[in-house]
Amino acid sequence: MGSNEKPCRNCEALRAQLEQKEAIVDKYQKIVQSQNELLQDLTQKSPYTSGSSRKQSENFGHFGTSSSYDLNNKVTAVTAPKTRGKQVSKSCRAFIGSITDGIDKETLKKCLEDAFGAVENIDMIPSKACAFADFATQTAYHAAVSEGAVCFCSAKTLNNSTQLQPDSEKFNSLSKNKKKLVLKNSLHHSITLSKFSSFYSSQYGKDRWQNLFKSLQNPTRYCALINKFTSPKHIQSFLSTTPNLEQVSFLDLPCYVSSERFKQPEKDENGILNYYLLDAASIMVVKALDLNVNDVILDLCAAPGGKSLVILQYLLSSIIHNNNDFSMNYGGFLTSNDPSPNRCRRLKQVITDYIPPSLQHHIKILSLDLSLSLPTYDKILVDAPCSAERHLLNSPNEFSKWKPSRSKIMSQKQYKMLLDAVKGIHVGGLLVYVTCSINKFENEEVVKKILKNSWVPLEEVKSEWIIGEPCEKGWIILPDKCDGWGPLYFAILKRVGEGEFRKKEKRTFRRFNADKNIENDDYEE
């Protein structure tokens, strides 16, 4: 090949693949080296290996050939293979990491024995937050490794779970297989919780995350939104008979909290329920739409219907209530949509229970996977599906499915939904993007991406609110600093122009023809 000739594209691709593979090999060689250094440090400080270097070699063998790794590139298990020419004890030594909160030796040993089999000895190393366990049989050792015991749960998890307390009657009454299943689920939960905390502490900082995590584990706080379409007599009855009521001061709709649990909403003489329970932050989100009585509005993901109900409280504010006869000068129109048929049925039930039949012509309920192409609405509310961390932490089955990659998948769905929704706003109209997530990748990062990439001209409307805190883009209400309300994130976007649809430009490549020794410029992607 001459000096002026370009290399073959296939050769360049092969070279890139080789460089990538070499980089991967180099990375894992460094990982193995770091694990060996850690293990050598541990063996020097372990009371089990306090003898000579020859004795240490006999007890531990060659670590580098028998290590396994977790996602955080930490050693999770180490076997003690046979040394050359010598037969070591039948016990099999396992390295158990991630031991926190001062878990004691006896509890650790009993839990391992109940689940997997006999354990001869436990060597705790508090300075390294880990331990070595000597299983009596290879069967017990392999069972522990296969079930995930090498990433053992913290003492807090053991002590707070009645199912896992070794002395509890419920745990002791279980069969050995069920005990193993209980411990396996707890170990999986602990590992997930560790990754979950690490993921969010990197966003909020360790100190802030500890406070936020505690507040997320508390039950969701609700206020009672008084339904303006209920008869005044029925409203007064509710206010006078409900104990310890206090009005929420930062909301302009009549909402009340109580130290007592709210009873079930009751219907008035016209069959309309008197109040609806929801998070006060949800009302602030609807307030951000800056509604006018003549607006045409879309609630894109409306179920179960709380925010649609709040929209109607604002939208139909010109109603005159006189002897249960509703009349109005003119009102706007709300389209409430949810693509899930099951959730949409719940939405319809809420509208039927809270809105009088004489006003239901101001709302249309759909269950469609809407695709917007023309500017149709003055205001759009996008309450996007999200990770909903507060719900996850209070739902063990759902939490067990959490992975760090979940946020990436969710943010891609949110971006596509938002990219489609902005096309449906009139020029000068507003879109409010909402999630109940605390994840920055699902919140402000999605907004930044849509502001950068959307062909619809948009700008962020920045506002100060009574509760909550500003983000890089948008506003967030977090329960640790907002008296238990939230979490709820929202950002206000305004369409400032018509915009022009821009297709992606075709990219042209210069392909080298090896047979004819020429270059072609007509290859397009």
Catalytic machinery residues: 436
State yes or no: 97 annotated in a binding site. no
Residues near 236 by beta carbon (within 8 Å), at least 6 away in sequence: none
Q: What's the token pair of residue 208?
A: 């802030």
> Both tokens of residue 17?
């693949």
206 is in an annotated binding site: no
Cβ count within 10 A of residue 318: 13
Token duo for residue 315: 């939208």
Q: Which residue type is seen at 478?
A: L
CB burial of 167-178 (b: ≥16 within 10 Å; e: otherwise) equals eeeebeeeeeee
Is 92 in contact with 60 (CB distance < 8 Å)?
A: no
CB 519 within 8 A of CB 512: yes
C-alpha–C-alpha distance, residues 481 and 337, integer Å: 33
CB within 8 A of 104, min separation 6: which ones?
A: 155
* Look-up of token digits 């990491």: 97
Q: Is 114 annotated as a binding residue?
A: no
DSSP codes, 242-276: STTEEE-TT-SS-EEEESSPP----B-TTS-BSEE
Where do we find the tokens 């541990």? Answer: 42
429 annotated as belonging to a binding site for a ligand: no
Residue 301 assigned as binding residue:
yes
Structure-derived torsion over alpha carbons of residues 101, 103, 104, 109, reported in degrees to the nearest 10 = -170
Distances (CA, A) of 163 to 108, 180, 186, 193: 15, 11, 9, 18
Checking phi first, is residue 26 left (phi over 0); if not, alpha (psi -120 to 50) or beta? Answer: alpha
The Cα–Cα gap between 27 and 41 comes to 21
- Report the sign of the C-alpha dihedral through residues 384, 389, 394, 399, in that order: positive
Q: DSSP 3-state helix, strand, coil percentages of the chain (rounded to 5)?
A: 40, 20, 40
Which residues is 432 bridged to in the sheet? 381, 492
CB 446, CB 418: distance < 8 Å? yes
225 token code pair: 């939104």
Q: How many other CB atoms are there within 10 angstroms of residue 163's CB atom?
A: 15
Extract the annotated binding site for S-adenosyl-L-methionine.
301-307, 338, 383
Binding-site positions: 301-307, 338, 383
